[in-house]
Amino acid sequence: MSSSKKIILSIAVPIPLNRVFDYLPPDNYTPEHLQPGVRVKIPFGKNTKTGVLLAIKPDSTIDTSKLKKAESILDTYPLLSSKDLLYWAQTYYHHPIGDVFLSAFPIALRKGKSSKLKVPHYYKLTGTGKDINEQALKNAPKQLALLNLLQTQQQAISSQEIANYFKLWRAPLKALIDKKYVTQTSTDHIQPAIITRQPALQANPEQLTAIDSVCTQLDKFSVHLLEGVTGSGKTEVYLQIIHQVLTNGLQVLVLLPEITLTPQLEARFRQRFAVAIETYHSQHNETQRLTAWVNMQQGNSAILLGTRSALLTPLPRPGLIILDEEHDSSFKQQEGFRFSARDIAIVRAKMLDIR
């Protein structure tokens, strides 16, 4: 008890007040878990809230006998490893610090849910599945589509990855397993050695100029505007730039202006790249967004496609940020924490010394 009185937790709480709140550590906490960037469950008024630990200090301006104890530390390690960007956004946009910090989390984490993901099942073709004649599944198009997907994989594929391709996948998968074409495996998911599934298209002189101008500056902060009419090949330009970034072992964040554009671009990315790709937007449910966020935050996935809500997703190996149609008004958040995704993206890249 005496040691607890010497430790004060400075916590950001998502309320419309631009201040932090001091708390005492919870009972029976693990000292190693008490690090800035972890989430903390706290009593607040008549309710409980999820806040973010910003600092640990030896004293408080409030009498420690009047301070409440936090209820629990929700994480075993900091989910937000770098907080400079959030401090900058809070100051620049004059918005309450608790709202800004909690906006970096998906809804599930804001509600205090666990950041630990369920271990996914992995599936691969059996010897029979590899040699099957497609005519055998001509009357089962969903099974055939799933079989074709597995045939394009270099390794076992997780149920989460299958769900990215097909909405109704469980029944076709079960049928393929029953027919001994597919088997479940406990093999851990390992990033494939190859980066691309398909070769890049032949770039024209204008595209080559744009690609070279960016790729020659991949080792430092820079901002580039790629301008061209619809159908001029802008997407191919940044696909080839992304390939170079992935070759360097870094992650890529691609922000899109509209949810409706995401499936179209996602399909093109999955056709081109063999790395793990995540999508993040409001049409996903809480579990899907949590999975995408944690996989990027832990470095399990290499590419994140999302709308402006994906902007603050932590990346342990950041290499490139792209805003597709950066002039689109949907990149400006108009409710709650109001911000320009383009401006924050530029500041984030500068702080990280990336493109």
Per-residue model confidence (pLDDT) at position 161: 81
Per-residue model confidence (pLDDT) at position 2: 41
φ/ψ bin of 215: left (φ > 0), alpha (ψ from -120 to 50), beta (otherwise): alpha
What CA–CA distance (Å, rounded) separates 329 from 90? Answer: 21
Per-residue model confidence (pLDDT) at position 198: 85
255 and 341 Cβ atoms separated by less than 8 Å:
yes
Per-residue model confidence (pLDDT) at position 5: 52
Tokens read off for 47:
């309710």
What CA–CA distance (Å, rounded) separates 8 from 179? Answer: 60
How much is the pTM? 0.85
DSSP per-residue codes, 72-136? EE--SS-S-S--HHHHHHHHHHT--HHHHHHTTS-HHHHTT---PPPPPPEEEE-HHHHH--GGG
Q: 299: helix, coil or strand?
A: coil
Per-residue model confidence (pLDDT) at position 159: 86
Per-residue model confidence (pLDDT) at position 187: 57
The H or E element spanning position 178 is: helix 170-178
- pLDDT, averaged per 10 consecutive residues of the chain (355 residues), comes to 69 96 94 95 96 95 93 95 92 97 97 90 90 88 91 81 85 94 73 77 93 92 90 92 95 89 84 91 90 94 94 96 94 94 96 91
Per-residue model confidence (pLDDT) at position 191: 54
Q: Which of 66, 9, 19, 64 is nearest to 41 (CA)?
A: 9
Q: At what angle do helices 205-215 and 234-247 cross, to 10 degrees?
A: 40
